[in-house]
């Protein structure tokens, strides 16, 4: 006898509402269905009605967590359309805020993942350390979340020399705590028990289902847009692309944690090598007909933009494909054969840009009886 377990769409623990329907047989998950669209606002259509400059602020609010990578990608696409190059110093500043964003996003992920496996102490610790990154972001851009630093033709705020020692001190503290978390993931029994051999995505499946970002790298697919298709000044910095072979939740966590260390190295190098010079150039925004494709590596994977101009100060079309969209296809493969208790952590292991699985109802498909479970009760679900 199979049960249907719908998860969502209401009561997000954190972010956007989505809807998952799990079909379970006893404890085993036999099928899964996903429905999108609860947060559809009509952004791509609104982008066509505004001019290029205004679009930056709308683009920034596609996703609050990875707003810098969205604006960087958009600005690079428009710069490509207009055929201009931002000044060197602007590119360095972009990389600094991009990498700080990756650190904040991965720490946020770590905290919520710990919460999903019932390890609330780690949740609080990770978010405590995340505040250090937020401080650095506030120092550089003047705002904690939406930085509004990028603009077409460069950046709007400079990194001052007085700020550099503070940034380096912050990074040192972050490096210490990240190393501690890596140790924890290698040794803590609770984490190992909940994360190893759970939600496995094999290398073959990751390739076939076009997984991107840390999800693909945790399955052994060696891909990173920062290295394969360098933008800004990533080609002048040295960093490693982290991969693991296992493909389970543990591998996905370790990939993200080790990426934090790489990001710290990147920021250190960027701060040191930053040349003196202007931070933005003037761009004529009546862009003749042209089209551009731009890719960047967001914290969650490859972010893709397509832009088409038509001779006016408004774009004809801007299309955005976010990494979560690419990764959702892999969810099914990761769940099949798994158990109900794994649902929260496996959903979260792709670092989806939604977290609305607070409410679960189990429907007995024979009697039609429904009973509700909150995500909290689900977390406590034991065989």
Stated as kind and residue range, the H or E segment containing 53 is helix 52-60
Number of residues that bind ligand SF4 (CB under 6 A): 2
Q: Which does 218 bind (CB under 5 to 8 A by kind): other proteins, ligand SF4, none?
A: none
Stated as kind and residue range, the H or E segment containing 180 is helix 163-187
Using Cβ positions, the residue closest to ligand SF4 within the complex turns out to be 61
Which CB, 39 or 182, lies closer to other proteins? Answer: 39
Q: Which does 250 bind (CB under 5 to 8 A by kind): ligand SF4, other proteins, none?
A: none
Which CB, 146 or 374, lies closer to ligand SF4? Answer: 146
Q: Which of 46, 51, 64, 238 lies at the binding interface for ligand SF4 (CB under 6 A)?
A: 64
As a whole number of angstroms, the distance between CA 304 and CA 296 comes to 7
Given a contact cutoff of 8 angstroms between Cβ atoms, the answer to whether 326 and 301 are in contact is yes
CB 226: neighbour CB atoms within 10 A? 21
Span near other proteins by CB under 8 A; candidates 71-79, 256-264, 275-283, 373-381: 373-381
Q: Which of 62, 152, 242, 307 lies at the binding interface for other proteins (CB under 8 A)?
A: 62
305 DSSP β-pair partners: 294, 320
Which stretches of 209-356 are DSSP H helices?
A: 213-218, 225-228, 249-273, 323-335, 343-349
| Signed CA dihedral, 216, 381, 358, 260: sign only | negative
Which CB, 147 or 269, lies closer to ligand SF4? Answer: 147
Smallest separation (angstroms) from other proteins to the CB of 120: 11
359 DSSP β-pair partners: 374
Stated as kind and residue range, the H or E segment containing 123 is helix 120-141
* Nearest alpha carbon to residue 203 among 246, 251, 149, 259: 246
Structure tokens of 358? 């607070």
* Nearest alpha carbon to residue 175 among 268, 271, 65: 268
On the CB side of 74, how many CA atoms lie within 13 Å of its CA? 32
Q: Which does 10 bind (CB under 5 to 8 A by kind): ligand SF4, other proteins, none?
A: other proteins
Which CB, 13 or 341, lies closer to other proteins? Answer: 13
**According to the binding rule CB under 8 A, does residue 156 interact with other proteins?**
no
Q: Which of 169, 273, 376, 380 lies at the binding interface for other proteins (CB under 8 A)?
A: 376
Residues 173 to 192: which contact other proteins by CB under 8 A?
Answer: none
Given a contact cutoff of 8 angstroms between Cβ atoms, the answer to whether 107 and 113 are in contact is no
* Nearest alpha carbon to residue 19 among 29, 10, 30: 10
Q: Which of 25, 53, 128, 319 lies at the binding interface for other proteins (CB under 8 A)?
A: 128
**According to the binding rule CB under 8 A, does residue 102 interact with other proteins?**
no
**According to the binding rule CB under 6 A, does residue 61 interact with ligand SF4?**
yes
Name the site residues for ligand SF4 (rule: CB under 6 A).
61, 64
Name the site residues for other proteins (rule: CB under 8 A).
9-17, 37-43, 45-46, 49, 57-58, 61-65, 67, 108, 111, 123-124, 127-128, 130-131, 134, 144-146, 353, 356, 358-359, 374-376
């Amino acid at each position: 006898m199979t049960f249907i377990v719908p998860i969502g769409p209401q009561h997000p623990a954190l972010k956007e509402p989505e809807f998952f329907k799990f079909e379970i047989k006893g404890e085993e998950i036999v099928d899964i269905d996903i429905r999108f669209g609860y947060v559809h606002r009509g952004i791509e259509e609104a982008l066509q009605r505004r001019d290029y400059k205004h679009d930056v602020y709308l683009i920034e609010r596609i996703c609050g967590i990875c707003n810098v990578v969205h604006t960087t990608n958009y600005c690079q696409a428009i710069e490509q359309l207009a055929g201009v190059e931002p000044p060197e110093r602007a590119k360095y500043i972009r990389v600094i805020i991009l990498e700080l964003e990756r650190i904040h996003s991965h720490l946020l992920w770590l905290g919520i993942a710990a919460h999903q496996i019932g390890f609330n102490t780690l949740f609080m610790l990770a978010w405590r350390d995340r505040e250090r990154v937020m401080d650095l972001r506030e120092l550089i851009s003047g705002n904690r979340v939406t930085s509004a630093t990028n603009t077409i033709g460069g950046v709007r705020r400079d990194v001052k020399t007085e700020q550099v020692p503070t940034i380096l001190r912050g990074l040192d503290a972050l490096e210490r705590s990240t190393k501690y978390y890596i140790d924890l993931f290698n040794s803590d029994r609770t984490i190992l028990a909940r994360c190893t051999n759970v939600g496995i995505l094999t290398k073959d499946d990751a390739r076939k289902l076009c997984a991107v970002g840390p999800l693909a790298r945790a399955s052994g697919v060696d891909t990173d847009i920062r290295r394969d298709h360098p933008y800004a000044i990533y080609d002048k910095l040295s960093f490693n692309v982290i991969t693991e072979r296992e493909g389970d939740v543990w591998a996905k966590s370790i990939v993200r944690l080790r990426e934090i260390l790489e990001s710290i190295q990147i920021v250190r190098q960027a701060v040191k090598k930053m040349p003196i010079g202007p931070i933005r150039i003037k761009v004529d925004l009546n862009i003749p007909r042209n089209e551009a494709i731009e890719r960047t590596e967001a914290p969650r994977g490859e972010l893709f933009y397509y832009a088409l101009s038509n001779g006016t100060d408004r774009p004809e079309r801007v299309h955005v494909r976010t990494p979560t969209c690419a990764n959702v296809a892999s969810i099914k493969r990761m769940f099949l054969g798994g158990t109900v208790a794994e649902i929260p952590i496996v959903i979260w292991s792709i670092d989806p840009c939604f977290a609305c699985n607070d409410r679960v109802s189990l429907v007995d498909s024979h009697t039609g009886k429904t009973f509700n479970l909150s995500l909290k009760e689900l977390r406590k679900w034991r065989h």
